[in-house]
Amino acid sequence: MTDIFTTEKRSDIMSRIRSKNTKPEIKLRKALFARGFRYRTNDKRLPGTPDIVLRKYGTIIFVNGCFWHHHPDCKIATTPKTNTEFWQNKIKRNRQRDLENYWKLGEMGWEVIVVWECELSHAHDADVVADKIAERLRRKLSPELPKPYEIPEELEMGIAAEDATEYGKKPQ
C-alpha cells in the first residue's frame, strides 16, 4: 500500500502540472461527503478552478501538490537538482498565480482553505483534516457554537447538571 501510493504520487508530480482528482483530493472529498457536506468540484467559473467549492458555506478548498504549488518548508517541495532555474521559475509562477487566485476569490467573498498534499499522505489524515474543516464550516453558519476545548471552567463543572441532549446541539 505504502509503495503503491508513493509511486503514484511520484508519477503525479512528474507528469502533471495541475493535477485533477489526485488521490489526496479524493480522500478529502470522500471524508467531507461522509460528514454530510456537499460540494462542486473543479469549478472552472471561479479563479484557479477550485478543487472543492462549498457554496453554502462560502468556502473554497484547494488541495495543493507540495512540489507544484511550493509548500513552504515542506520536504516534498524540493527543487530538482537538474534544470534548477527552469523549475524555480516555473514553481515561482505557479505560486504567484495561486496567490492571485486566492486574492481574487477573497475579493469575491469566498473563504479559501488550502490543504497540502503532505497533510493527506497518511491513512487517517483525510479524516483529521475533514474534521477540522467541518468544525470551521459549522462555526461559519453558527458562530455561537461553543469552541472545542475552550469550555469555561464553571460551565464544565455544571455539565453533569445540563441536559445532555441539548449540549453541543447545533442551533438552527
Residue of 133, 6, 151, 146 whose CA lies nearest to 59: 133
| Number of chain positions touching Zn ion (CB under 5 A) | 6
Point out which span in 9-17, 38-46, 71-79, 122-130 binds Zn ion (CB under 5 A): 71-79
Q: One-letter amino acid identity for 21?
A: N
Point out which span in 42-50, 67-75, 88-96, 153-161 binds Zn ion (CB under 5 A): 67-75
Interface with Zn ion, residue 9, by CB under 5 A = no
Tell me whether residue 110 or residue 116 sits nearer to Zn ion (CB atom).
116
Interface with Zn ion, residue 71, by CB under 5 A = yes
In whole angstroms, the minimum distance from the beta carbon of 58 to Zn ion comes to 26
Binding mask 101-140 for Zn ion (x = CB under 5 A): ---------------x-x----------------------
Interface with Zn ion, residue 70, by CB under 5 A = no
| DSSP-derived pairing of the beta strands 111-116 and 59-64 | parallel
Task: Tell me how far apart the alpha carbons of residues 68 and 78 are, in angstroms, rounded to a whole number.
Answer: 10
Q: Which three cell numbers stand for residue 25?
A: 483530493
Binding mask 11-50 for Zn ion (x = CB under 5 A): ----------------------------------------
Interface residue list for Zn ion (CB under 5 A)? 66, 71, 74, 76, 116, 118
